[in-house]
Structure 1
Amino acid sequence: MQRVPFSALASVYDAIMADIDYSQWADYILGYARAEGLSPGTALDLACGTGAITAELQRRGLEVVGLDGSAEMLAAARARLPETRLVQADLRTFELEERFDLVTCVFDSLNNLTDSADLGRALKRAAAHLQAGGLLAFDVNTRAGVRDLWDGEVLEGLAPLPDGREVHYHWSHHYDAAAELGTVQAFCRLIGTGQPDEEQEEFVELHTERGYDMDDLEPLLRAAGFASWEFCDYPHYHEPWPETPRIWVFARAAGARA
């Protein structure tokens, strides 16, 4: 019943995450870019998953390439975006031929890199794929965010699926203070349409994250070669406070345009 992270979950991910306002996230990213005098025309969406942010950036006129390590998540993205270029690759080692005005990585995807050296490698790959003066935009759960993920440490609900079934999900969170790692046990049960002899499917995935604070990120951004960066709270671009559970990071590549 236990599956590799982001494998079986791909079939129900969009149903469970239906309340996430990816549109506002896209506006938040592009709003920051405009305030910096940037008008990105191309974007690379790292850890694109099922393509939700990829699609929102495309709707706003950008030419977008999506990249993810999960074949199952990319299959769901291809169903959503059949004309979009989607690449399966590792965030720490990927190499594409082109460079982009904007690189994004949203929904705390980088927290899944639980070794800070791996996060540093991913940031270096992101920097290497930006045009001069380009912008990297990503969000991460802080140490406080990973420690105190949900009130009551449980997220549970029932969501409809496109094929008429429903998914019952029960996700529980455990924080290992000694290792400073948070693990979500994501249990999902697919409830059928009531047809005779219909099999009931269920699975569990374990998702582990490390929280990263501003003091953790600054040396990694510097080592990756970024010229400047700013940490922001959502949705008003305020400076984060010490116990902010999630921060947004906007980092500029060297050679900023005038």
Structure 2
Amino acid sequence: MNYQAFATLYDTLMADAPYGEWIHFLNKQLNVTNLEGQRILDVGCGTGELLVRLKQQGADVTGVDLSAEMLTIAKEKCEQYGFSPLLIQQSMTDLEDLGQFDVVTLFCDSLNYLETEQDVVKTFECINKLLKKGGYLLFDVHSVSKIENGFIGQTFAEDAGEVAYIWTSFEGVAPHSVEHELTFFVQNESHHYEKKFELHKQRTFPVEQYKKWLQKGYDDITVQADFTSFAPTAESERIFFSCRKKD
């Protein structure tokens, strides 16, 4: 998967993303009003938008992402806010020893980019090794309903001036998977539009399957939906998990 074009457009396309609600969810799960003293690893950190907000809450932050292009933007953004966190290019399925963290976050459906059960399990195991005793893993995923009814067979389009896109989603090969074909039209310095294309694949699993995998290394597992404190329903779109590393 090529993130080069997508990385430069990511912040434009995610301008309305609910970053503040992810921070609120984190604070609520940790039962704190700020993150002073918390050492947090943000996996799938992208362009660093969440890193900035975590830092503003007082956290000591580290970011990991597979995309070098995303990390370049994240570095520049964080420096604009006056800090230089450790940013590492790694796959979430093969995280090396990065030290010990109080919290690991994996938000904005980043986990859904893993296409096999084995990779999801490996990711949970890698994160477990990086958590301090009693540390928390917080993540969200698309619901099965969102993949099958909200994405598959749908086409989305937007013209944001300097960039426009057409986003078409098709059923993937694996169960509960989708393939997103994104065509971007980006205005260059000559005010002409350049066409760029990317293919993104995502897959999710039923809630009970995630819980079964998590139970091997985590306890105190809670499941909520759509930035609320309520359990998921058949209509829920985004599923949130909070779990604690076993003693």
With the length of structure 1 as denominator, give the TM-score of the two structures.
0.87
2:241 corresponds to: 249
1:163 corresponds to: none
Structure 1 residue aligned with 2:184, among 188, 191, 212? Answer: 188
Q: Is the 8 A contact 1:231 1:240 kept in 2?
A: yes
1:59 corresponds to: 56
Q: How does 1:63-74 map to 2 (within 5 A)?
A: 63-74=60-71
| Deviation for aligned residue 1:78 | 1.0
Q: Is the 8 A contact 1:44 1:66 kept in 2?
A: yes
1:31 corresponds to: 28
Gaps of 5+ in 2: none
1:214 corresponds to: 207
| Deviation for aligned residue 1:242 | 3.2
Q: How does 1:1-258 map to 2 (within 5 A)?
A: 4-34=1-31, 41-82=38-79, 83-150=84-151, 153-159=154-160, 166-176=162-172, 179-192=175-188, 195=190, 200-223=193-216, 225-255=217-247
CA 178–52 in structure 1, closer or farther in 2 if over 3 Å, else same: closer
- Root mean square deviation of aligned Cα: 2.0
Task: Give the letter for the 2:67 counterpart.
Answer: S
Runs of 4+ in 1 over 3 A off after TM superposition: 176-180
Greater relative contact order (Cα 8 A, min sep 6): structure 1 or 2? 1
Q: Is the 8 A contact 1:51 1:81 kept in 2?
A: yes
Q: Is the 8 A contact 1:149 1:173 kept in 2?
A: no
- Work out the CA distance in 2 between the residues paired with 1:91 and 1:98: 15
With the length of structure 2 as denominator, give the TM-score of the two structures.
0.90
| Deviation for aligned residue 1:39 | 7.0
| Deviation for aligned residue 1:228 | 2.7
Gaps of 5+ in 1: 161-165
- Work out the CA distance in 2 between the residues paired with 1:33 and 1:240: 20
Task: Give the letter for the 2:187 counterpart.
Answer: I
| Deviation for aligned residue 1:203 | 1.1
Secondary structure in 1 aligned to 2:95?
A: coil
